[in-house]
Structure 1
Amino acid sequence: MNRIEWYWKRLMGHGGRYGVQVRFDTREKTYRPIRSKPDFEVDWSEGTRAIFDAKVCSGASLDISRPTEKTATIVKQIDFMLRRSAVGVPCFFLVHFNARVVRGKQEEAFTYAIPVHEGMAVWREWRSGERTKINRPTASSVGVQVAWDVPHGSRTLSPNLLAAARAVKQVITEAEYV
């Protein structure tokens, strides 16, 4: 959230987290949170809007399989972003793959903005049930690498969200998905 606050302090943009929905559990007589929307919606002063969800992946891939108790949230987030992207809003998963060692080989950490749009093969495959994961090679082939930097006047290293949103918007526009 620091990066979004940094944009706001400079009147470059405004954004925030989506609220968490709840449902009443009649058995336990309590409210239970239902995380179903992406993490962030941001509007920048240049007129760019973006909706994205931030994920951290320490394993080989990000699980996007059809609804189970474990994956229900991400499925709802994908559906939400597919609807928003259909009307021209750049939507993406900001996925940070942690560094890891596999069979003695070091894999570096990297961050990708993976566009979410119905026109992309990866999401058509997801809809049909053919795709259940986004692995590191898929992220690098369909996504846009996101640089981390320290914004002027800040001390915190963070992903450049505005550059990511611009790049996703360009990818979607150039591919004529919109």
Structure 2
Amino acid sequence: MAKGWSAAEEALLRRHYPHEGALAVASRLGRSATAVRQRAAALNVRSTEWWSKRDDDFLRANYAKHGASWCARKLKRTALSVLTRASRLGLSENQAWTSAEDTHLRRHYQRTGAQACSKAIGRSPHAIHQRAAQLGLSRTNNTPWKDSEDRYLMRHYSKKGPNWCAERLERSYRAVVSRAYRLKLPAK
């Protein structure tokens, strides 16, 4: 159930929201930024600085490395809002790739896929796909399945699920699901 707003809370919102933004007001009130934005809209209070200095600093520190989706989750905003603000700040997701990141992709991308590489490197799956294409790495793995991998799937797939098996077999999620289907294994 939603917590009601007191007159004092609404007064604080009216006084600080236009210049400080939702995160600062949320912190002062012990409420979520989303709740503050919703109440501000209901009260027709507009922020003159929709993006606070703190939000901008967060984007400057994290946008290039983590991308719009990640920043949007952390700031509790939409990815489109983050993309627009990042563009206005002159930020780009295109941070230079290190040789260590390229080496990781060459060693693991084909077998584990973009999601696993994303977690290991700390870049978005979209960025992983783009860099893999630039490096000439194929998303498909034509490595034949070994009998030992099939036995592993038969033992663990229905209990542990495809993600768990994919990580341990160093295969992509799709490869594991496809192989389990061919082996007629029941899903978790």
Tell me, yes or no, whether TM beats 0.5: no
TM-score between both structures, scaled by the size of structure 2? 0.23
Where is the helix percentage greater, Structure 1 or Structure 2? 2
